[in-house]
Structure 1
């Protein structure tokens, strides 16, 4: 179903990874049971199991519920079942929790973001780690970490986008970066995939400052030196592309 659905709907690679992960739950619960053996009551018990045994939030259960709806519709279209167990099933609600201790001017949840001074402390701590590094590899790791934090903070680039930034996507004279790809590592860094960002608006040109351009240039030179130091152990990307930022671990 997922293969057929992904081709029909032209699903994004990241969406396919998410759906595959969600399907682990019904595969675990129903085990080797075939689709036509699943009754409406068994499917309703499955939804309760997701909440009570798996401890999933309502939003996660809704996502699985929607995916199962697509699966059952696919089975109906293929003539494997006559009616979908999805019909009439109810997603269990979460228990409402009330906090009567909050004052009128208090908020239950406050988003956590690094202020400018806090960001400076993170960078300073990373620089100190670099000075304390025991090996050239560790020194490179911390220098690169500092640059990653600096560039993300000054451009808004996401870490997945920065991970696959190529030298040809960096224009020093025009002070621009082109974002057209991102990294997908849900199966681990050894089985990563590279694909387009999830939305068209994420494919963009970013204006950068001269300071950011200088940091990128320093990183490119550092990576060349790191590659010479590592030698044959240096990771060769799947399609032969070179990236500005690399994973220094073996």
Structure 2
């Protein structure tokens, strides 16, 4: 039953809707500004009838931060841990602005403006991740009957303004090593690298594996006779603590694959196995043997941050102006496969790409040496035509 009351010189109504699941309190819809009590009563009656017929969504006063966290908990039951972490990080950029606001108060204009501002700070891919997260949150709110409209509807992804300086910087900071640069890097690593460094970066460069796939490798995944590596899992450790890791299923079904390795890499693995056996004996009182290939002194797999730090240390000795990360070796491997004459389908299978377009995009990162050879071949083929 609606409650009609006077507010100043105007009349208002309060209509009880239902209990708010976020607070346990009764939800109410209030409206004022009616000139007479009768007008307020008629409007309240109409609202109550609409509620009975399902015509009014019972909006909640739940805050954006509270609901976003509820959604994240629900989302975590549907996907892998790594996906939840990515969404949590993206979500922070929205919670920091709207956390205290009722979910229903966030408008299309507010949403578009927030993403536009974030676009000035972050890459297009990261902005897309933030928007995808926001869209999922508000869609879930719609499904829960907590809001009437989704503020992400009609959203327009802002374009990234690219300057001449950006283009020139991208050209300088290529994301893979040329063959001669890789040779120098591996020589430096062999001479100045610490335990596991040489095998680690040689494996990344010679297999094209993702870093997480490599760190998850166990000796049972390696067949030194057949010269194959079976990739079935990936290493996940967001806190970079030696014991805080998980072994998860790979990125996609296509990521589960068996790849061939060459004799040089086989010899490195054999030498490492002998060295690791000696280490196990020396550390036998504390060594926790879980069969990891890239295990540190007491048996735990190497953490990703350590790989990054070792790479940064070694890159200081390489005279190239490139932004090289562990993932760069995957692109390096791809470029070398292209130079060796491998086809797109072969590269797709070896890298474990589920979408061939991903492989095609990487194809654009051909080495300068390959481009020069292609140009030379074309010149030879067309000599005398002009």
SS in 1 for 2:119: helix
Q: Which of 76, 84, 88 matches 1:16?
A: 84
Q: Is the 8 A contact 2:75 2:84 kept in 1?
A: no
What is the RMSD computed on CA atoms of the aligned residues? Answer: 2.9
Q: Deviations over 1:44-89 (max 9, x none)?
A: 332233134xx12333222211221111110111111111111233
Distance (whole Å) between structure 1 residues aligned to residue 95 and residue 84 of structure 2: 16
User: Which residue of 2 is the match for residue 120 of structure 1?
Assistant: 183
User: Which residue of 2 is the match for residue 147 of structure 1?
Assistant: 199
Q: CA deviation at 1:109?
A: 6.7
Describe the shift of the 1:42–1:185 C-alpha distance in structure 2 as closer, same or farther (beyond 3 A): same
Q: CA deviation at 1:201?
A: 1.3
The yes-or-no answer on 1:175 pairing with 2:175 is no
Q: CA deviation at 1:116?
A: 3.1
User: Which residue of 1 is the match for residue 157 of structure 2?
Assistant: 91
Distance (whole Å) between structure 2 residues aligned to residue 167 and residue 108 of structure 1: 40
Q: CA deviation at 1:205?
A: 0.9
Q: CA deviation at 1:183?
A: 1.3
Describe the shift of the 1:173–1:231 C-alpha distance in structure 2 as closer, same or farther (beyond 3 A): closer
Q: Is the 8 A contact 1:219 1:245 kept in 2?
A: no
Distance (whole Å) between structure 1 residues aligned to residue 210 and residue 223 of structure 2: 19
Q: Deviations over 1:175-210 (max 9, x none)?
A: 221110111233324433221210111111112233
Describe the shift of the 1:95–1:172 C-alpha distance in structure 2 as closer, same or farther (beyond 3 A): closer
Q: CA deviation at 1:3?
A: 3.4
Which ranges in structure 1 are unaligned for 5 or more consecutive residues?
A: 131-141
Q: Is the 8 A contact 1:169 1:178 kept in 2?
A: yes
Q: Deviations over 1:90-147 (max 9, x none)?
A: 3333335357x99xxxx957734323332222222223226xxxxxxxxxxx242111
How many residue pairs get matched? 226
Describe the shift of the 1:69–1:220 C-alpha distance in structure 2 as closer, same or farther (beyond 3 A): same
The yes-or-no answer on 1:210 pairing with 2:273 is no
Q: Is the 8 A contact 1:40 1:89 kept in 2?
A: yes
Q: Deviations over 1:208-227 (max 9, x none)?
A: 23332221122122223234
Distance (whole Å) between structure 1 residues aligned to residue 111 and residue 227 of structure 2: 56
TM-score normalized by the length of structure 2: 0.52
SS in 2 for 1:23: helix
Distance (whole Å) between structure 2 residues aligned to residue 221 and residue 129 of structure 1: 21
Which ranges in structure 2 are unaligned for 5 or more consecutive residues?
A: 1-70, 304-386
Distance (whole Å) between structure 2 residues aligned to residue 24 and residue 75 of structure 1: 18
SS in 1 for 2:161: coil
Describe the shift of the 1:222–1:32 C-alpha distance in structure 2 as closer, same or farther (beyond 3 A): farther
Q: Is the 8 A contact 1:51 1:57 kept in 2?
A: yes
User: Which residue of 2 is the match for residue 111 of structure 1?
Assistant: 174
Which structure is higher in RCO with an 8 Å CA cutoff and minimum separation 6? Answer: 1
More deviation in 150-159 or 173-182? Answer: 150-159
Distance (whole Å) between structure 2 residues aligned to residue 67 and residue 22 of structure 1: 7
User: Which residue of 1 is the match for residue 74 of structure 2?
Assistant: 4
Q: Which of 139, 142, 155 matches 1:73?
A: 139
Q: CA deviation at 1:164?
A: 1.2
Q: Is the 8 A contact 1:182 1:196 kept in 2?
A: yes
User: Which residue of 2 is the match for residue 139 of structure 1?
Assistant: none
Q: Deviations over 1:18-41 (max 9, x none)?
A: 212111111212233332232333
User: Which residue of 2 is the match for residue 30 of structure 1?
Assistant: 98
Q: Is the 8 A contact 1:14 1:198 kept in 2?
A: no
User: Which residue of 1 is the match for residue 245 of structure 2?
Assistant: 192
Distance (whole Å) between structure 2 residues aligned to residue 97 and residue 172 of structure 1: 50
TM-score normalized by the length of structure 1: 0.77
Q: CA deviation at 1:14?
A: 3.0
